Structure formats: C-alpha cells, structure tokens
Amino acid sequence: MRALATEAVHAGRDDLARQGLHAPPIDLSTTYPSYDSRGEAARIDAFAAHGAPLEGPPVYGRLGNPTVARFETALARLEGTESAVAFASGMAALSAVLLARNAMGLRHVVAVRPLYGCSDHLLTAGLLGTEVTWVDPAGIADALRPDTGLVMVESPANPTLAELDLRALAHACRTVPLLADNTFATPVLQRPVEQGARLVLHSATKYLGGHGDVMAGVVACDEAFARRLRQVRFATGGVLHPLAGYLLLRGLSTLPVRVRAASSNAAELARRLAADPRVARVHYPRLGGAMIAFEVHGDPHELIAGVRLITPAVSLGSVDTLIQHPASISHRIVDAEDRRTSGVSDRLLRLSVGLEDVEDLWRDLDGALGTRRGSGVRRGAVAVSGPQPRPRGPRAAASATAHADQ
C-alpha cells in the first residue's frame, strides 16, 4: 500500500498518464449520447437494483460523474475504505445516510453531543423522520434498540474539540454502524475505520477543499453501504457539481502538507493562549490538528470585533485563519441549555488556524485579546504592519449583544 502523502497526489489519477493527460479533465456533461437504448435499459436496471457504479460510459449527471468519481476514489483511498460517495454539502451527505437507514425501517439514531450545530438540529428536529437519543459515550450500549440504525459521533468534536475513544465506542455499538464525523481530524490525523467506525463523514467544505471556495460533503464506507447511498443520491438529487469534484481532488493533493503546517501553527498558538492570563481555558486535541477552542475572561464579542488579520467568519479548514463565536453562529440553532451542558459555553471561541506566519497570527490575537483593565490600549495594535487595519465594529453595539446573550 502506498503512503498517505503519495495517495494524496496520485489516487483518482492513476489512468491519466495512459490517456496522455497530466491534470484531471473536468467533465461538465449533464447527459451522454447512446445509440443502444436496450443496453441502457439493462444498465439502469442494474443501478436501480444494486446502486453499483455504472459500467461503461456515464448516462446522466445525477447517476454519476467521472470527475466527481475521481475525488470519491481518492478520498476512499485516504480514509482506507472500499468506497466513498460525494454530495452537494456535508449536510446533504448526512441526510443521505439518515434516509438510507430510514428506508430500511431503522429510524432511531443514538448520538453523542456536541455535534456540529446543524447536525444536532437535523437530529433533534427529526426533520427526516428520525428519532434521536442523546447519550454520554458510556451510555451508547444501553440506548441501542432493535430499530437503531446509526450511532453518530464527532471526534474531535465541533466546537469543543472533545475527543472520544472511537475503538471503545465502535465496540459498544455492536452491529449498529458507527458514523464518525472526521471533518476536524481529516484522514491525515485519524482514520476512523481503522478503529471500527463503519461510516466516515466529512464536510468536504472544510479541510478537504481547503481554500474556502467549495461546498461539498462525502461519506467514506464499505461498498455495500455506498450502494445504498448512491441510490439515495440518485433519487433525491443532492449531487456534487463536477467543478467542485475537480477542486476537491486538487485540494486533496495538498491536504497532508496543509494539515501538518496549520497544526504546527495551532499547537504553538494553543501553547501561548494557555500561558496567557487573559485566557481562561484552552481546548486543543491530544491528536493535534489546526482547530483551537478557548474561553476568555473578557467579552468574546470584543475579541471577534478586534481581529484584523484573522477573519471573523464561520466555517473552518481554509488556508487562512478564521475565528467565530459558536454560541452566536455555528451552534446558535442548538437549544441554549443543550449547548451549555455539552460544553459550548457563551465564552467559548473557535479558531481555525491557517497557514500564515505564526508570529503574525499571535500579534493579531494578542491585540484582539486587549488588556483586562479595558484601558482601550490594545497591545500589539501599533505593531501590526501591512495594509490599513479593518475598521472595527462599534464597541457599544458589541457589548450590548454580549449582555443580551448572557
């Protein structure tokens, strides 16, 4: 087997040299010519019955696309699974998993908080007809029922970076498939199937794309489950655009390098934040990674309003550093009490560390952390070089929001 760094640049591209190509082609066709209707009927029957990838030329964009298939092949190799099925977003990917289980009469889901805010919402609201039981990791085995179709976890979790022992959880799940959302770790740091997870979910919008310009989701799993997911994708239409497939394949080629470089920045920033008296708590995974969660003694909204180099925005996993306040944005849709009991305090900030120079990042954070005495003099502010600082939001408005939230 080839090493991860090699797979990252070669998987899904093995046929290119034979075709006289170097960059993968982008196939934007929605439909494909065929003079053999009898043959097409047989192929469509086979796909409808089994969800197996189409043999021969493509038929219609919703059944499969060659450029997207390259990304699926590559991601499956990186995660160490037989197959992968790509979708229009991470939420479309999770929806397909839930619908596939529902269709088998397995509508009960056991899940561990925290999860990404919208995943929590999708399960809690039962929008797809599922019923969820929220448990601590130790409560999984007792929560299983005959109609339990899925156990869902994230590790490290969004946004607290809480880590779970996936091997122990997979054991507790018995025959029920364990879905691990691996968006934060990526296959560079963790391959959940090696620890017994049957399904690996990614918001490919984050690290896999890696440049903040593609929205996508993918499930890596065995071929039997992939067939069900392809059938759901075909029937419900949450397909990935071929251009997005191309950009994701390109993103994968630098994934190991990006994740390692951003993680080394993040480890250093986590160390400095933990040593800083203005910071109350820092959560940084044992596994490493490029995400940091931290709580400040002061007003988290002030910090968000004070960054200049770092972009205050939701999402993560891009080449540049982003910061956001989960209780206001990414996890706003989760009930306030459920948020707090799962560790998402109103003081928590989530930082997605990018590839900038670590000293520039620290200077920005240091300035935005301000002084605890609130003198208005922000340490480091004069040291920021380069373009004009962005105008800061009105302080009074930011404080008012903070108080309203308490």
Please identify, among the stretches 83-91, 104-112, 167-175, 185-193, the one whose residues bind ligand PLP according to the rule CB under 6 A.
83-91
**What is the spatial distance between Cα 85 and Cα 71, in angstroms, rounded to a whole number?**
9
- Single residue of 77, 206, 233, 347 touching ligand PLP by CB under 6 A: 206
Q: Binding to ligand PLP by residue 120, rule CB under 6 A?
A: no
**Nearer Cβ to ligand PLP (109/398):** 109
164 CB neighbour count, 10 Å cutoff: 16
CB of 159 to ligand PLP, least distance (A): 9
- For the question of residue 116 being annotated catalytic, the response is yes
Quickly list DSSP for 207-246.
Answer: TTT-SS----EEEEE-HHHHHHHHHHHHHH--PPPHHHHH
**Nearer Cβ to ligand PLP (254/315):** 315
Q: Binding to ligand PLP by residue 215, rule CB under 6 A?
A: yes
Give the strand order in the sheet containing 348-352: 279-283, 291-296, 348-352, 322-324, 311-312
**What is the spatial distance between Cα 173 and Cα 148, in angstroms, rounded to a whole number?**
10
**What is the spatial distance between Cα 143 and Cα 241, in angstroms, rounded to a whole number?**
38
* Region at 237 (left for phi over 0; alpha for psi -120 to 50; beta for the rest): left
Q: Quote helix, strand, coil % in the chain, to nearest 5.
A: 40, 15, 45
- For the question of residue 366 being annotated catalytic, the response is no
Q: Binding to ligand PLP by residue 116, rule CB under 6 A?
A: yes
**Nearer Cβ to ligand PLP (179/402):** 179
**Nearer Cβ to ligand PLP (158/160):** 158
- What's the DSSP call for residue 158? T
- Single residue of 205, 231, 253, 321 touching ligand PLP by CB under 6 A: 205
CB of 115 to ligand PLP, least distance (A): 7
CB of 116 to ligand PLP, least distance (A): 3
**What is the spatial distance between Cα 298 and Cα 151, in angstroms, rounded to a whole number?**
37
- The tokens for 153 are 């976890």
- For the question of residue 181 being annotated catalytic, the response is yes
**What is the spatial distance between Cα 59 and Cα 176, in angstroms, rounded to a whole number?**
34
Please identify, among the stretches 200-208, 254-262, 284-292, 378-386, the one whose residues bind ligand PLP according to the rule CB under 6 A.
200-208
Q: Binding to ligand PLP by residue 181, rule CB under 6 A?
A: yes
What is the footprint of ligand PLP within residues 279-338 (CB under 6 A)? Answer: none
- Single residue of 12, 24, 61, 90 touching ligand PLP by CB under 6 A: 90
Active site amino acids? 62, 116, 181, 206
**Which residues of the shown chain bind ligand PLP in the complex (CB under 6 A)?**
89-91, 116, 118-119, 154, 158, 181, 183, 203, 205-206, 215, 217
